[in-house]
Structure 1
Amino acid sequence: MFDGFQEILYTLRQNKLRTALTAFGVFWGIFMLILLLGAGRGMQNGIYSDFGSDVMDFIVVYTGTTSVAHNGRGVGRYIELTKDDIKSIQQKVPGVRFISAENNRGGISLVYEKKTGSFGVHGVPDDYFKIKESIPFNFGRKVNLLDNDQQRKITVIGTAVSERLFGKDVDPVGKNIRVNGVVMKVVGVFYDKGDRGRDSERIYIPQTTFQKLFGTSDKVGSIWLRPLEGVDGFKLEESVIQLLKQRHQVSPEDRRAIRSFNMAEPAKMVNGLFIAINGFIWFVGLGTLMAGIVGVSNIMIITVKERTREIGIRKALGATPTGIVSTLLMESILVTAIAGYAGLALGVGLLELISFALRSAGANLPFFQSPEVDFKVAITAIILLVVTGALAGLMPALKAARIMPIEAMRAD
């Protein structure tokens, strides 16, 4: 084994320029593949960040005015959702994992000592944060069941609100603020990057507290839902809309009275887009890589031709075909593995350097964030490289194993 390795190194040293050029072709192929995959992941991270802190399967149902007359009712009737609608959905529509109401008022005055601000106030039950489960809380906690049952005067505030009233990097939990003139205790601070961070310019209070503060009774501004795993969100959305139209005497053809937004729709479009982009990246990257592998195969063919006499002598002295094939294959694998690993290491290192530079500069590019390569992808690339390297040297090696000693001695 050691003697064979020494022989391979000797052969490579005898053809330094040829070996270097062949290795560079493989190195460049894997290097470009890693860079392209990292850039694709950076674009994917950037676009997904624009979706905010929300999960990718929620559905929001909201209302407007009727645009089609129905059952003797005219056009322009405003539809108001109620808590009874939520109960009806829970009873009659299967496949709902979580459901929550939401009420909101914009431009509400918030006061802390001498600092004031105008922000949106949202009244929600505790189930609301099971739907928006991806929102990170920097300090404190979320609204819970007891807050709603006891109509507690508490609030969780966005980071933009916290910075406006308390200053940056200050923990406001436990402090009191005035919400529309009512004293409420801050129990949590969240950051919602939705709408480019503007969703952090709001506060949440218990739904029952909101109803008492603004006199909304059992009225609901919008209904949020998440389907059970495996349930088709689009069919669930259709069933909910159909039920609400029946309850509120709305024409089935009316598209303005009861409307909805399904996060699965844009998520599906983006996922399809990135499947196509990743397919194109792999196509280009593997094409570049295969050019290097073809170079390895060509060099091995030349090597076999140059060493025809030597191979014939070795066979005459008792060398087995397996020994000759393994030596040539090891030469091919060694060149591709070392060059490929170097390309992989440099590509990953460059991506990490770019990611570090973006974080250090505080750059917030709208469609490019945190370029990276998945570990499984890197391992797949290395395995693919070794296999193709072996295949590149296999045909020349098999040809060498079939050389007859007498023919080899006649070779020029």
Structure 2
Amino acid sequence: MSDQLQEILSTLKKNKMRTTLTGLSVSWGIFILIVLLGAGNGLRNGVMQNFSSRAVNRVNLWPGTTSMPHKGLKSERNLYFTEDELDFIRKEVEESRLITPRFNTSQTISYGNEYGSYQVRGVMPNYFDIEKLTIAPEEGRFINQLDINQSNKVIVLDKKVADLLFKEESPLGKYVKVGQLMFKVVGVNSKKEQWGGSNTYIPFSTAQTIFNPNRKFYQITFTVDGLVTEEENDRFNESLRALMGRRLNFNPEDQQALWVYNAQTEYVETMKIFGGITFLVTIIGILTLIAGIVGVSNIMLVSVKERTREIGIRKAIGATPTSILKTIILESIFITTVFGYIGLIMGIGLTETVNFFMEQAANAQAVSDEPQMSIFSNPTVNVGYALFATLVLIISGVIAGYLPARKAVKVKPIEAMRQE
């Protein structure tokens, strides 16, 4: 085996240009494939990271002002929700799962000598899962059903609010003044709002009693299951508008009467786009591999043709066709394996380097109170894809070397030695 290896290395040294061209063809194909896959994964991971901040299957409803007369009712009517609409959605919208109303009010919140004006959100327990808030075990809890049933005066603070009011002191169990009433702090949310802001959360029933005596509110959020295609979401949106139109007495075609935001539709559309991107990257990757395969095949074909005379001499001095084929195939395997590995290391090295600098940049931004929108994240590649591509090139190189070599070893030694 060592003799064959020395013979292969000797042959490669004699034909440096041919070896270099073959190696570049293999390395470049693998390198470009890794970079393309990394770029596709980076885009996908970045966008998915943004989606992960909230439930992707949520639907937000906001009542508006009618712009069309309906069943004898005039236009320009201001619509609103009541708690009856919550029960209606639970019963009539089959796809609905988690649901929460949201009542917003700005209040001055103070503790000791510290105070500030913050948004107070009256919500139900499901809000925690829908908005994917983060409360560590040592940071307390979120609003629960008992708080809703008893209209407890408890409050959950965003971390930014807690840090401003309490400085280095733990807020849990302490009382803050919200408007003119005292609320007990039961939890601290450490998730940052996508678009900034400092929020606090109280039981919806408490908010209705204290801050909203007319019981009207202007947002309902709920999650849906079973809507996986764009068509299903479009049908659901139309059905929802029809249901709410009957409930609130407006024309379902009146787009200004009810504002519907279906995040699932946006998610499905985005995944459709990334499906196209993945397909495009796959096609480019395949074409790149084909280019590498063609390069290897052509060079091996020329290589064998140039060595026809050498093959004839080998046969004349007693070399068997099998040993000649074995040498040429091993040479092909050696070139594609070594240079394929080089391309693999370069591609992975580049994607990991880009990922490292991106992580450093993200860590440097962590001191900011505002979360960053991400469009590119973790552009690394599954090594299995790269190894598979390298294996394909190696097999192609073997076939490319074997076919012309097999033809060459069938030529009679005297005829082979006449070749120029």
1:43 aligned partner, one-letter code: L
- Separation in 1, partners of 2:390, 2:164: 54
TM-score by length of 2: 0.84
Kindly state the Cα deviation for residue 148 of structure 1 after the two structures are TM-superposed. Answer: 1.7
Aligned-partner Cα distance in 2 for 1:329–1:179 = 80
Are 1:405 and 2:386 counterparts? no
1:300 CA drift (Å): 1.1
1:15 counterpart residue number: 15
CA distance in 1, matches of 2:395, 2:38: 27
* Pair 1:215 & 2:212 matched: yes
- 2:78 aligned counterpart, secondary structure: coil
1:124 is matched with 123
Instruction: Name the amino acid aligned to 2:122.
Output: G
2:110 maps to 111
- Match of 1:246? 246
Change (3 A) 1:353 1:380: closer
Contact 1:348-1:372 at 8 Å conserved across structures? no
CA 1:299/1:72 → structure 2, altered by over 3 Å: closer, same or farther?
same
Task: Give, as a single letter, the amino acid of the residue that structure 2 aligns with 1:203.
Answer: T
Deviation at 1:54, TM superposition (A): 1.0
Q: Which amino acid aligns with 2:273?
A: L
Report the AA paired with residue 419 of structure 2.
A
Give the drift of 1:192. Answer: 4.3
Say whether the 8 Å CA contact 1:61–1:260 is kept in structure 2. yes
Which residues in structure 2 correspond to 1:171-210 (within 5 Å)?
Answer: 172-196=171-195, 198=196, 201-210=198-207
SS in 2 for 1:226: strand
User: 2:389 matched to 1:394?
Assistant: no
The Cα offsets for residues 340-364 of structure 1, whole Å up to 9 and x where unpaired, read as 2322223323333333223334258
Taking the TM superposition and a 5 Å limit, the aligned residue runs for 1:349-364 are: 349-361=349-361, 362-363=364-365
What one-letter code is carried by the residue in structure 2 that aligns with 1:137? Answer: I
1:314 deviates by 4.8
* Alignment-derived partner of residue 319 in structure 1: 320
Aligned residues of 2:22 and 2:299 also touching (Cα < 8 A): yes
CA contact (8 A) 2:26 2:393 kept: no
Q: Report the aligned-residue RMSD.
A: 3.0
Residue 81 of structure 1 corresponds to: 81
Per the alignment, do residues 391 and 252 of structure 1 end up closer, same or farther by CA in structure 2, a change over 3 Å counting? same
Question: Is structure 2 residue 267 aligned with structure 1 residue 267?
Answer: yes
CA distance in 2, matches of 1:312, 1:167: 88
- In 2, the alpha carbon distance for the partners of 1:147 and 1:206 equals 6
1:228 is aligned to 2:225: yes
Deviation of 1:74 after TM superposition, in Å, equals 1.3
Q: CA deviation at 1:120?
A: 1.5
Q: Secondary structure at the match of 1:251?
A: coil
Post-superposition CA distance 1:49-79 (Å, at most 9, x none): 4557112221111101111111221112221
Q: Matched residue of 2:251: which SS?
A: coil
Equivalence map 1:297-336=2 (5 Å)? 297-314=297-314, 317=318, 319-321=320-322, 324-336=324-336
SS at match of 1:402: helix
For 1:136-175, list aligned pairs within 5 A: 136-138=134-136, 139-167=139-167, 172-175=171-174
Report what 2:93 is aligned to.
Answer: 93
* Equivalent position SS for 1:178: strand
Deviation digits for residues 297-316 of structure 1, max 9, x if unmatched? Answer: 22211221232233345556
CA distance in 2, matches of 1:368, 1:167: 34
Give the secondary-structure state (helix, strand or coil) at the position aligned to 1:81. coil
In structure 1, the residue corresponding to 2:102 is in which secondary structure? strand
CA shift digits 1:18-70 (9 cap, x unpaired): 32343233223322332233233333444444557112221111101111111
- Deviation of 1:210 after TM superposition, in Å, equals 1.4
8 Å contact from structure 1 (residues 28, 289) kept in 2: no
The offset of 1:12, in angstroms, is: 2.8
1:384 matched to 2:389? The reply is yes
CA distance in 2, matches of 1:147, 1:4: 80
Q: Unaligned stretches of 5+ in structure 1?
A: none
Shift of 1:401: 0.9
Question: Are the structure 2 counterparts of residues 347 and 391 from structure 1 closer, same or farther at C-alpha, using a change threshold of 3 Å?
Answer: closer
Matched residues in 1 for 2:180 and 2:381: separation? Answer: 51
CA contact (8 A) 1:60 1:260 kept: yes
Provide the C-alpha distance between the structure 1 equivalents of 2:300 and 2:198, rounded to a whole number of angstroms: 65
Identity %: 36
Is the contact between residue 89 and residue 240 of structure 1 (CA under 8 Å) also seen in structure 2?
Answer: no
How far residue 17 of structure 1 moved from its aligned partner, in angstroms, is: 4.3
2: CA distance between counterparts of 1:163 and 1:245? 44
Instruction: Kindly state the Cα deviation for residue 119 of structure 1 after the two structures are TM-superposed.
Output: 1.9
Question: Which one is further off, 399-408 or 277-286?
Answer: 277-286
Give, in whole Å, the separation in 1 of the partners of 2:188 and 2:339.
50
